[in-house]
Structure 1
Amino acid sequence: MRNTTGEGIRVLAVGEILWDIFDGTEILGGASLNFSANIQRLGGAATLITGVGADDRGYRAIDAMKLLGLSTKAVQIVPGEATGIALVESTPSGETTFHIPRPVAFDRIDTSTSSISAETLRLIEWIYFGTLLQTEPALEDFIAELIYTQPNVRCFYDLNLRTGHWNYALVQRLSHRCHVMKLNLDEAKILSGLAHPSSQTFDLTSFCQQWTSEYDIDTMCVTLGAEGCLIYSSGSVDTHSGFSIEVHDTVGAGDAFAAAFLHGYHSKWLTEDIARFANAAGALVASRPGATPEWTYGDCNHIAQQ
């Protein structure tokens, strides 16, 4: 395992920023925000394109981003729209559910690529996107144009399906646009069922092989909860065990995993090292309260070396 962050990755993330509300307590979150914060913790530089309202939650979100070390230069204040929220609940089985009212400020951002500085576009190495934001057609078109105008920049798609905020045709289109795709086991089963409705069986390796071939994806990573993850790349399948930890809550754990995975992948680490580091980051965040708890590269490395 590496003991230094090395040269940081430069990522342009496009997505949601919102307040996760647990039993009346508000904690800043949103997959894109969480991912960006973790890229910063790993020594990288993330620019997040998103929107907040001209309201108390919006101004608090901007202040919180600054405390996380994130640039706010691409955060748009959208008059007349509220800052996003997610009502978070845990099921008896420990799964987390989200209710996200829409439309909100992040759905109404300026969708002209001229809103992004030339300097930002010149420096980025990866574009990160998810599914939720792109249920708005104008925002899907915006990100597609952004990808088209940056042919040398690679794309990381973190599926993050939220009930009522995705559809199969959208996922198919977004899969065509990415180089690396990350999803969890339940999401893989859902997509497999939609792709092969007559099939009565599910095989994860077969699904990865078929999906990456169909959509020309270089690498697919499937998180397996406490069991770790499976990485499929160029016909090679690697499964890596997770780490035993006491879970506080799982909100943000997948986003930390995604950031750590991309950090190692971009740095051309061995697959085993990428998986151990990403599993460690996910476990670390799951062991602490909130979606973006304080942690260091050393904390993550300590778990990864167990």
Structure 2
Amino acid sequence: MGQVTVAGSYVADLMIRTPQLPAPGETVLGGPFQMGPGGKGGNQATAAARSGADVVFITKIGTDVFGQEAMQHFEREGFDIRFVQKSEQDATGTALISVDEKGENSIVIAPGACGKMSRMDIERAGRAIEQADILVLQLEIHFEAVEAAIHQAIQCDVPILLNPAPYTAFPAEWLCHVTYVTPNETEARGLTGITVVDEASAQRAADILHEKGAGVVIITMGGRGVFLSKEKGKGRQMKGFSVEVVDTTGAGDAFNGGFAYAISSGMKVEDAVQFGQAAAALSVMKAGTAVSMPYLEEIKAFLKKVL
């Protein structure tokens, strides 16, 4: 069992299921309502923990009721919570999520306290990064905190997984230090200008990321699977698993958390990708985000069944 350190966001998910996603200016009558733990950092940490990793979570929450529920979730999942910061000034982050009958979603996030994470918060958690088998990062926290975490990992020679989501332009030099970068098609387009629609376009996007310094490029493509490229011009498409989709929210987080666990436990990259795909497939068969993350026994049983 490896140690996965996640430095990232936690938000409370407020989700409504609806017949269709509303157009601008449209009100849609939906239901039912579901509230639960979320945020890309929280989701990925949950996915890694349920997969079998020892998880250390670096985040910031408020002292409100959502923050109290966050701590209960962290304890239930077995996180090391020594580096969860609490803000007296800022509320716990929240996400408003609409999910239609096809499982597609629309999300608006108010980062709250986790959006105020600072370099100092990361420096306080230096030991958690130093002892990690892999550091997992996203872009839902302040860039100052992400950059500090990258620098700490470099100093300790810890592999870095960067999930560049939600996509926003970030310093190009970050990619030179990233061991694994895991964009989806939208994020790959933002990073490279390439619209990823098939294996050939995915290879072009991956090649640009390699040229920018990225190590292993993993482009997640939903039902079409994953494009894996370890070096320029030599990528391969890995097919996904066909399942009945209930809710796609959090599928990428399930993949990243499962993949991080697999790498931390010593799996080869190809096997880790397959493990992450299984985690993602299982997650979309349930409603919700963190609560939909599968456990190790479920993933093993699923892989045994489909392979």
Report the TM-score range of the alignment, normalised by the length of the smaller protein. 0.7 to 0.9
Q: In the TM superposition, what whole-angstrom CA distance separates every residue of 1:55-86 from its partner, at most 9, and x where no partner exists?
A: 11111110111112212211111011000001
C-alpha contact (below 8 Å) 2:226/2:237 kept by paired residues: yes
Q: Which residue of 1 aligns with 2:20?
A: none
Contact 2:185 2:221 in 1 (8 A): yes
Q: TM-score, normalised by structure 2?
A: 0.83
1:25 Cα deviation from its structure 2 partner: 2.6
CA distance in 1, matches of 2:284, 2:146: 31
C-alpha contact (below 8 Å) 1:107/1:139 kept by paired residues = no
1:158 alignment partner AA: N
Contact 1:37 1:69 in 2 (8 A): no
Tell me what 1:261 maps to: 259
The alignment partner of 2:263 has SS state of helix
2:72 counterpart residue number: 63
Deviation of 1:263 after TM superposition, in Å, equals: 3.0
The residue that corresponds to 1:233 in the other structure is 230
Selected match of 1:206 from 198, 201, 204 = 204
Alignment-mate amino acid for residue 116 of structure 2:
R
> Cα deviation per residue 1:263-289 (whole Å; 9 max; x = unaligned)?
333445345433322211100011012
Aligned residues: 282
Is 1:245 aligned to residue 243 of structure 2? yes
- 1:240–1:72 Cα change, 3 Å: same
- The whole-number CA distance in structure 2 between the counterparts of 1:36 and 1:300 is 16
1:176 aligns with 2:181: no
3-state DSSP class of the match of 1:274?
helix
Which whole-Å CA distance do the structure 2 matches of 1:92 and 1:294 have between them? 20
Query: How far apart, in 2, do the equivalents of 1:175 and 1:134 lie?
Result: 17
Structure 1: tracts of 5 or more residues without a match: 1-7, 196-201
- Within 1, Cα distance between the matches of 2:2 and 2:265? 8
SS of the residue corresponding to residue 262 of structure 2 reads: helix
Gaps of 5+ in 2: 17-32
Alpha-carbon distance between aligned partners in 1 of 2:285 and 2:171, rounded to the nearest angstrom: 31
CA distance in 1, matches of 2:126, 2:220: 34
SS where residue 132 of structure 1 aligns? coil
Change in Cα spacing, 1:244 to 1:73, as seen in structure 2 (3 Å) is: same
Distance 1:179 1:231 in 2: 13
One-letter code aligned to 2:136: Y
Distance 2:35 2:165 in 1: 21
Change (3 A) 1:261 1:295: closer
Q: 1:176 is matched by which residue type in structure 2?
A: C
Give the TM-score, by structure 1 length. Answer: 0.83
Take 1:303 and 1:221, find their aligned partners in 2: how far apart are those partners?
22
Q: Any conservation in 2 of the 1:15–1:106 contact (CA below 8 Å)?
A: yes
Q: Is the contact between residue 38 and residue 289 of structure 2 (CA under 8 Å) also seen in structure 1?
A: yes
Other-structure match for 1:160: 165
Q: How many angstroms apart in 2 are the aligned matches of 1:250 and 1:291?
A: 9
In structure 2, what residue type is equivalent to 1:185? E
Residues 171/95 of structure 1: CA separation in 2 closer, same or farther (3 Å cut)? farther
- RMSD value, Cα: 2.4
Give the match's secondary structure for 1:46. Answer: strand
Extract structure 1 runs of 4+ deviating beyond 4 A: 91-94
Distance verdict in 2 for CA 1:91–1:173, change over 3 Å: farther
Residue 50 in structure 1 maps to residue 59 in structure 2: yes
Instruction: Provide closer, same or farther for how the CA distance between residues 22 and 275 of structure 1 changes in structure 2, counting only shifts above 3 A.
Output: same
Query: Secondary structure at 1:153's aligned position in 2?
Result: coil
Q: Which residue of 2 aligns with 1:298?
A: 297
Q: What is the percentage of aligned positions where both structures have the same residue?
A: 21
- The match for 1:285 among 283, 286, 292 is 283
Aligned-partner Cα distance in 2 for 1:75–1:27:
18
SS of structure 1 residue aligned to 2:183: strand
SS of alignment partner, residue 28 of structure 1 = strand
Q: 2:272 & 2:126 partners in 1: Cα distance?
A: 32
2:189 is matched with: 189
